[in-house]
Structure 1
Amino acid sequence: MSWEGITEFVAVVEQRSFTLAAKKLGISTAKVSRQVNLIETRLASKLLNRTTRVVTPTDVGQQFYHQCRHILDQLEDAERFVSDQQLAPSGKLMVTAPVTYGERIIAPVINDFLAEHPRIEVRLNLTNQVLDLVQDNYDLAIRLGHLESSSLIARRLGNRTLYTCASPEYFSEYGTPEAVSDLNRHQCIAGTSAHWQFKVAGRVTTHRISNPRIRCNSGIGIRDAALKHLGIIQLPDYYVAEDIGNGALKAILATQQIDDDGIWAVYPQTRHVSTKVRLLIDYLIEHLYR
């Protein structure tokens, strides 16, 4: 069996484009096309349907792709196994995390991790989009809250607490809400969602902030407004925990606060998890909230 063209064929199917496949592999589009043509000639079978907009596998091409993908996965596992036997782990890690949580929490811990592992490189992409780890070639993603069902492996890194709070000066002037319904009489500052979460009578409920004084799609901007006594906010702990701790903000409605949800490290399911990924996850678990 010849291996020639297998990698190129798999990349074309996954990217649905010769151009994007070439970009992913770091070679020319002409070479990708030539290698795929060689496979089709060798097998005497049409594997791809080509149009000006998209490339899709034929029925036999789809089956061939699954077999090839399985073989390449096994080869990558074998290479990772050999690489992981080195005394010092090395190589590149592709990581993604939400923007603000990544800036404030994840990036500093990863920087400390890299200081301890000088042969490891990290490419950290901060985005609030939920990326396809397999298609986009990421080793690890940090995700917050409820996880949708998927084939990814998840390890819990810690918990996230949602606080409803404002400055003591605000409460001194306008009074302190004693119940969720009292929020209707207050200046509230909303983010991308105007629905705040609470736990009432043992059940999670939502309260709509119908006429927020400020609406802002930045947690940092919302926090700043609260610190300047402009109203009540609801944000996760990594925005406001320090402010609550030093008295700049005061948390309210503690008995209606929802249970903590999770902070997760997720990664593609393979038989052999690389030492680099395992080391980084263990480091995050140990150092995120020490």
Structure 2
Amino acid sequence: MFDDIILFIKLVEVGSFSQLAKLLNSSQATVSRRIQSLEENLGVTLLNRNQRHLEVTHDGQMLYEQFKKPATNLESSWRLVCEELQDELQGTIRLALTTEGARDIILPKLQDFLNEHPRARLHVTFTTQAIHLVKQHYDIAISSSLPESATHTVTILSKFKFKPYASPEYIKKYGAPTNLDELLTHRCIGSLGFAGEENNNYKAENLKTGEEKIISYTSRLYMDTTSHAAIVAKHGEFITGAWDAVVTNEVARGELVEILPDYSFFEIPCFLVRKAGVTSKLEQTFAEFIIKVFNESLHNKMNPLTEPL
């Protein structure tokens, strides 16, 4: 019965029979049958089932609240015991990346982690969805927004600033704007939102004075990924906005030059999101690795390279 209680806890957190069956590599009928057996053993109704969603009853909520922490701790403790019996860390970490800046910081370093832990595996997913580690079956996420659920622990890794950049060829051909009004007369790549909508209004913040100003700009070229826009900008025909963490190497190599360095047009935080409670040594080690990589990136940004890579 305790196995079925743990199954019920997971079902409430995932919110779907089919999704839970998929995560457990089982069938929806098997999961449903075990939950029904648990209800019969307890003599209560735990769920009101309908086609749209699961509705947890009062009895079901009471069972969930009583057992969710012990169930989580039991699972985590089992993982820790297994790791203690192993010669080295092994297993799979499922990582979700939701921010472009995080992708460009962490992806080049993943092989370092794999080299250090040869029996570890990484599953990396790129997503723009709001993060819920349990429902989406991730272990760790790097996200620009806080998770909706309180069953997570969150650490801030960095803050990214969206700033304008141009290539030396562009500056030689068209000149460099010296203020916001001049910027609006230049050839700039516009930004697309997640749904493909054009962003034509930007809030420019003076980083020295704190003064903010809304500027409007309509472009002939819009892109939704700043790393790709930076590639276009390096050819010398456009100014692009980019997250500072994304173009650190291009700036260090002299391929892009920061325009109007006193201004930022957006700022987004970058969070490390983990499940609350006890975690495995492998997950803890990987979280520490991520924090180290971000700290090194911040140090390099403050102390840029003086020679091309």
TM-score range normalised by the length of the shorter chain: 0.7 to 0.9
Closer, same or farther in 2 for the Cα pair 1:231/1:206, shift >3 Å?
farther
Letter in 1 for 2:215: R
Contact in 1 for aligned 2:95/2:122 (Cα 8 Å): yes
Mapped to 1, the partners of 2:224 and 2:158 lie a distance apart of 25
User: What TM-score do the two structures reach when normalised by structure 2?
Assistant: 0.80
**Aligned residues of 1:189 and 1:214 also touching (Cα < 8 A):** yes
Structure 2 CA distance for aligned equivalents of residues 220 and 140 of structure 1? 23
Is 1:163 the counterpart of 2:163? The answer is: yes
Match of 1:240 among 229, 238, 247: 247
Q: CA deviation at 1:142?
A: 1.4
Give secondary structure in 2 for the equivalent of 1:178.
coil
Q: Contact 1:12–1:55 (CA<8 Å) still a contact in 2?
A: no
| CA shift in 2, pair 1:261/1:216, >3 Å | closer
Question: Which secondary structure does the structure 2 equivalent of 1:239 belong to?
Answer: coil
Structure 2 counterpart SS, 1:129: coil
What is aligned with 1:214?
Answer: 221
| Aligned partner letter, 1:58 | T
* Superposed counterparts of 1:20-99, under 5 Å: 20-86=19-85, 87-98=87-98
| Preserved CA contact (<8 Å) 1:180 1:207 | no
Moved more, 30-39 or 277-286: 277-286
2:232 corresponds in structure 1 to 225
Letter in 1 for 2:6: T
In structure 1, how many angstroms separate the alpha carbons of the residues matched to 2:3 and 2:231? 58
- The question of whether the paired residues in 2 share the 8 Å contact of 1:89 and 1:120 is answered with yes
Kindly indicate whether the alpha-carbon contact (under 8 Å) linking 1:198 and 1:206 is maintained by their aligned counterparts in 2.
yes
Q: Is the CA contact 1:104–1:238 (under 8 Å) kept in the aligned structure 2? A: yes
Task: Specify the alignment match of 2:10 in structure 1.
Answer: 11
Q: Which amino acid aligns with 1:93?
A: I
Counterpart residue type for residue 44 of structure 2: S
1:23 alignment partner, SS class: helix
1:200 and 1:30 map into 2 onto residues whose CA distance is: 58
Could you tell me how far apart the structure 1 residues matched to 2:153 and 2:56 are? 28
CA distance in 2, matches of 1:26, 1:260: 41
Structure 1 residues 209 and 84: alpha-carbon distance in aligned structure 2, compared to 1, 3 A threshold: farther
Q: CA deviation at 1:75?
A: 0.7
Given the alignment of the two structures, is residue 283 of structure 1 paired with residue 289 of structure 2, yes or no? Answer: yes
Quickly say closer, same or farther: Cα 1:53–1:180, change in 2 above 3 A.
same
Which residue in 2 is equivalent to 1:255?
A: 262
Q: 90-99 or 150-159: which moved more?
A: 150-159
TM-score, scaled relative to structure 1: 0.85
Q: What is the alpha-carbon distance in structure 2 between the residues aligned to residue 55 and residue 262 of structure 1?
A: 34
SS in 2 for 1:107: helix
CA distance in structure 2 between the aligned counterparts of 1:147 and 1:130, rounded to whole angstroms: 8
Name the structure 2 match of 1:184. Answer: 184
Structure 1: runs of 5+ lacking an equivalent: none
| Partners of 2:268 and 2:54 in 1: CA distance | 41
Paired letter, 1:203: G
Contact map agreement 2:132 2:148 (CA 8 A) in 1? no
Identity %: 26
Instruction: Report if aligned partners of 1:158, 1:285 keep a CA contact under 8 Å in 2.
Output: no
Gaps of 5+ in 2: 193-198, 301-309
Amino acid at match of 2:111: N
| Structure 1 residues 148 and 174: CA distance shift in structure 2, 3 A | farther
Mapped contact 1:95–1:139 kept (Cα < 8 A)? yes
User: Of 252, 266, 270, which residue of structure 1 is paired with 2:273?
Assistant: 266
